[in-house]
Every structure is written in structure tokens, then in C-alpha cells.
Amino acid sequence: MSAEGHASLLDAVKGQPKQVWITAGAAVIAFMGIGLVDPILLSIAKGLNATPSQVTLLFSSYLGVQVIAMLVTGAASARFGAKRTVLVGLSLIVVATALCAAAGSIEQLVGLRAVWGLGNAFFIATALSVIVGAATGGQAGAILLYEAALGLGLAVGPLLGALLGSISWRGPFVGTAVLMALGLALCAAYLKSDAHEKRDPIKLLDPIRALRHPGLLRTSIASALYTAAFFAVLAWSPFVLGWSAIAVGLIFCGWGVAVAVAGVAFAPKLAARFGERHAAAFAVFGYAVLMLVLAVPSKPVVVVGIIVSGLVSGLLNTLFTGTAMSISDAPRPVASAGYNFCRWLGGAVAATLVGHVADWFGWPHAPFVVAAVLCVVAGGLLMVRTRQADPRTLPKEAALVGDQEF
């Protein structure tokens, strides 16, 4: 995305058709699901007599199913059309979140979060194409709207989880079900049907085949390692802090705002100056330093580290995807699917192991040290020379924190 595209953010929100705003609003609610459970992790553990390692499975099941589903959502959208794919995804989320509120055990909750992740994959992977296809003012502005929806969802999710979670850990799930049901009704009423439009078919294994490209494979693995560190922060720091839902929610609300600001305002400028790959390498080494800061046994230091890490995450979410989109000659939707498969697989594995890492080392801050090592390896992979020129302008599609991002 060029500097000009960035400068047109205010213009991008003007005069958009109703279905763009409805889809973007539903995307905000869908993205809220990532951080929604963060403030209530301790409450869930207490209410369902679960261990920290069991509770972090709420991230693992959500992301694990979403990772696998990412490989089929493109084919599903090409086969059945964007509107029907979006409605199926939203319906699954409504059912899953409503049932989460009634879960009687951690096993039930983990299973329902998996269904939630499946619905999210169908919706998120398709929503960007809906916004781009319907938006006025060009693709760059549409992607900025989508990025804004992502950032708002990341910021509001922990806050909603904190406010409703202060009443009961079941409250955030009820609230999300109600909001998503409203989004489902509006999308059903106002999104245009595309059931009879001609679409190019996408084969299920195309994203995996795209990873045969060495540069794309290195970038995808590096992103998986960074995403593992990302979820060390998201899934484990509430246990390190041990604070109330409101306190954790406010901290991660600030974190989400930082992610949004950096992704929209700073990443395009950094990419234009240094190129996506080099800027991403620089940023991921910085993230490694922040992980070591989080390992300091001081809660005020941890709080500052969490919020500052949001700024670097905002940069990396955009820069990594920009690199993945420009480093191979694969069609961008296919390259993005393969890249995101690797990326979120890293998150799913990290969310599963983070509690065990703390137990193995007998130190609650150990996951952050491991995360720092992973980031150093990721930076090294990005520094490997590639034959392709590293463009100094962020592609229009690069902000896909968006394109199948959560």
C-alpha cells in the first residue's frame, strides 16, 4: 500500500455502500473473538476447575481448526459464492458462542471454541473480498477499512470480555452471540447474492503447492515463529499478571489500539523506506527484545511490555503479509492461504504449549524467553538473501492482517 493509499484513509470511509459497512461491522465482532477470552481466562479456570494449560486450549482449538479450514474456505467461496460462505460462517459463530455460555466443562468449552474457529475461518477469509468488491474509491481504501475493522475488534474484544466478564465468565459469550446474530441478520438482508456469478475455481492443495517457493516458505515459517511469540503474550501474560478481568481487559484494549495504529499508520511508511522483508526482519528482532523485557519479574514492566508489543505486532502483521504477497509469483489469494496456514499453525501450537513450557522450566516467565529465541530465528530466516527484488512499496494487498488473518 503506497503512502498515497495510506493518506486516503479518511476519504476511504466516505460514501461507502451499506453492505460495506455491514460487512466491516460484522468483521469487527468476528475479530473481537481473538481477545475476548483474554480477561476471563482466570475466571474460566476457577469456574470450571481447569488448569492454566487446559484454559489456553481455548486458543489452540480456535486457531487449530481455523488453520485447517483456511485451506478450504477459498475453494468454498469459489464454489458457493461469497454471500453464502459469509452467512455459513456467521451462523456457526452464533451457535458456538451461544453454546459456550452454557458450557459445563472445560472440554465442552474447548470443543465449542473449535466450532467458533471454523465459523471465523469461513467468514474472515471471505469478508475482505466482499468489502473490496463493493467498496467505492478503489481496493486500497477498502483494505484500509478492513484493517480498521481488525484493529477495532482487537481493541474492543478484551474490553467487552472484561466488562461482561466482571459479572460472569459466561457473559462475554452471550454478548458476542447477540452481536453476531445481529450481524448475521444484516448480512442476510443487505449483502448482494453472487450465487450465479462465474468464479475461477481454486483447488484445495493450491496453497500447499505455493509453499514450494523457497522465499515464500521461509517467510511463512518465520511468520509462524513470530506468531508463536505473539500468542505467548496473548495467551500467557494474563496468568503472569494474575489481575482482575477489568484490569487485564484495559491492558489488552491498549494493546489492540497499538496494533491498529501501527498497522495502518506506521507499517506502510516503514515498508516504503526499507522494503517489506528488511523492515519485517528489523521489527521481529525488536519483538525478541520485548519478549526479554516481559521476562523481567516485575508486573509494571510486563504491562508496559505488553502494550509496546502491540505496536511492533501491528508492524509485523502488515509487513510479514506484504513480504509473503510479493516474494513469489503465485496468485496472491493462493500465496496468502498457504502463508496464513503456516502462520496460524504457529499460533495454535504456541497456545497449546505455552503453559507446559512454564511448567517444564518451573518459571512463569519462561515462555517469553522461548518466544525471544523463536523471534531471533525468524529474523534470521528473513535475512536470507533472495533472488527477487525486495519492493520498497507495500502492495495494495499487503495489509491482509485482513486477508484470512483471524
At 50-94, the pLDDT tens digits run: 998 888 888 889 888 988 887 787 677 777 777 888 899 999 999
Q: Tell me, yes or no, whether 405 lies in a domain.
A: no
What average pLDDT does the chain have?
Answer: 83
What CATH number corresponds to the domain at position 213?
Answer: 1.20.1250.20
Amino acid identity, residue 89?
G
Burial 300-330 (b: 16+ CB within 10 A, else e): eebbbbbbbbbbbbbbbbbbbbbbbbbbbeb
Residue 153 near residue 30 (C-beta atoms within 8 A) = yes
Count of CB atoms situated within 10 Å of the CB of 108: 14
Q: Tell me, yes or no, whether 198 lies in a domain.
A: yes
Q: Tell me, yes or no, whether 404 lies in a domain.
A: no
Cell 484493529 belongs to which residue?
Answer: 151
pLDDT digits (tens, 9 = 90+) for 364-381: 999 999 999 999 999 999
pLDDT digits (tens, 9 = 90+) for 84-138: 888 999 999 999 999 999 999 999 999 999 999 999 888 876 776 677 666 666 5
Which pLDDT score, from 0 to 100, does residue 138 have?
Answer: 58
Which pLDDT score, from 0 to 100, does residue 394 have?
Answer: 46
What percent of the chain is predicted at pLDDT more than 90? 38
Provide the domain count of the chain. 1
Q: In the structure, what pLDDT confidence band is assigned to residue 7 with cuts at 50, 70 and 90? A: very low
The three three-digit cell numbers of residue 381, written as one number: 530466516
Residue 256 near residue 310 (C-beta atoms within 8 A) = yes
User: Which residues, including other chains, have CB under 8 Å from residue 127's CB and lie 6 or more apart?
Assistant: 23, 24, 26, 27, 30, 86, 146
**Residue 80: CA atoms inside 13 Å, Cβ hemisphere, count?**
15
Q: Tell me, yes or no, whether 112 lies in a domain.
A: yes
User: Which residues, including other chains, have CB under 8 Å from residue 296's CB and lie 6 or more apart?
Assistant: 302, 305, 365
Mean pLDDT of 194-210: 72
Backbone conformation region of residue 363, classed left if phi is above 0, alpha if psi is from -120 to 50, else beta: beta
Longest CA pairwise span in the chain (Å): 59
User: Which residues, including other chains, have CB under 8 Å from residue 367's CB and lie 6 or more apart?
Assistant: 232, 236, 354, 357, 358
CB burial of residue 166 (10 Å; 0-12, 13-18, 19+) = middle
End-to-end Cα spacing for the chain: 20
**Does residue 326 have a pLDDT over 90?**
no
Residue 291 near residue 375 (C-beta atoms within 8 A) = yes
Q: Tell me, yes or no, whether 39 lies in a domain.
A: yes
Q: If you ran DSSP here, which 8-state letter would residue 167 be given?
A: T
How far apart are the C-alpha atoms of 220 and 144, rounded to whole Å?
23
Considering the entire predicted model, what is its pTM?
0.82
- The three-point CA angle 16-21-25 to 5° equals 160
Residue 57 near residue 114 (C-beta atoms within 8 A) = no
Q: Tell me, yes or no, whether 380 lies in a domain.
A: yes
**Does residue 396 have a pLDDT over 60?**
no
Q: Tell me, yes or no, whether 401 lies in a domain.
A: no
Q: Tell me, yes or no, whether 278 lies in a domain.
A: yes
Cα–chain-centroid distance for residue 64?
Answer: 13
CB burial of residue 389 (10 Å; 0-12, 13-18, 19+) = exposed
User: Could you list the residue range(s) of the whole structural domain that residue 129 is in?
Assistant: 3-393
